[in-house]
Amino acid sequence: MKPVRITYFVHGTTTDNEKGLASGWRNVGLSELGKKQSMKLKSQIKMKPDAVFCSDLKRAVDSAKLIFGFGIIRDKRLREINYGSLTGADSRKVDPLMSSHISKPFPDGESYRDVEARLRSFLDDLSRKYPGKHVAIVSHRAPQLALEVLLKGKTWQQAMKEDWRLRKEWKPGWEYLLE
């Protein structure tokens, strides 16, 4: 089967990001900065994807629409991790807990392995339905880390330790190959 090329984009800054809150499955929108970031990204990318997928959460949908227009395919498997009872908590409290929730779910939420299972299911469908195509994905941190695990062979600990967000090394798209 022909490989699927994936270009991954993260949603723009949200109102929760600006307040330092861990959104998880909370359906928050983009801040004014996030809208500007998405519009700027639109002018920076040159790819013409065969399909555009995004999380069904508002911040990813709005970013995808601002970047690519319409015809976006929403898929809840691309959602951020569910922080459960820590949804909306201070990010400084939640972020240090990431590595302790690789296999153990957040209270009333899910684990990073749960996110990995969602992404594996999504990638299986992508491989079947889009062989040889180039697709764009607009989503969140946990799904991108899951791609690092599933497609780049990293451990969860390694993916978390090497996360670009820790060094503020954002770029206009990350490339993955689904073989």
What is residue 46's predicted lDDT score, i.e. its pLDDT?
86
A 10 A CB-CB count for 163 gives 15
**Rounded to two decimals, what is the model's pTM?**
0.96
Taking each helix axis from N to C terminus, what angle separates 112-129 and 141-152, rounded to the nearest 10 degrees? 70
What is residue 70's predicted lDDT score, i.e. its pLDDT?
84
| Span 106-110, average pLDDT | 98
* 130-139 residue pLDDT tens: 999 999 999 9
Q: Confidence class of residue 86 from pLDDT cuts 50, 70 and 90?
A: very high
- Percent of the chain at pLDDT exceeding 90: 96
Query: What residues does 14 pair with on adjacent strands?
Result: 30
The domain defined by 4-178 folds into: Rossmann fold (3.40.50)
Closest by Cα among 159, 88, 150 to 124:
150
Beta sheet of 134-139, edge-to-edge order: 73-74, 51-54, 134-139, 4-10, 174-178
For the chain, give the number of residues. 179
* 116-172 residue pLDDT tens: 999 999 999 999 999 999 999 999 999 999 999 999 999 999 999 999 999 989 899
Are 96 and 22 a contacting pair, CB within 8 Å?
A: no
User: DSSP label at 107?
Assistant: T
Query: What residues does 8 pair with on adjacent strands?
Result: 137, 174
Supply the mean pLDDT for the chain. 96
A 10 A CB-CB count for 66 gives 21
Domain range annotation of the chain: 4-178
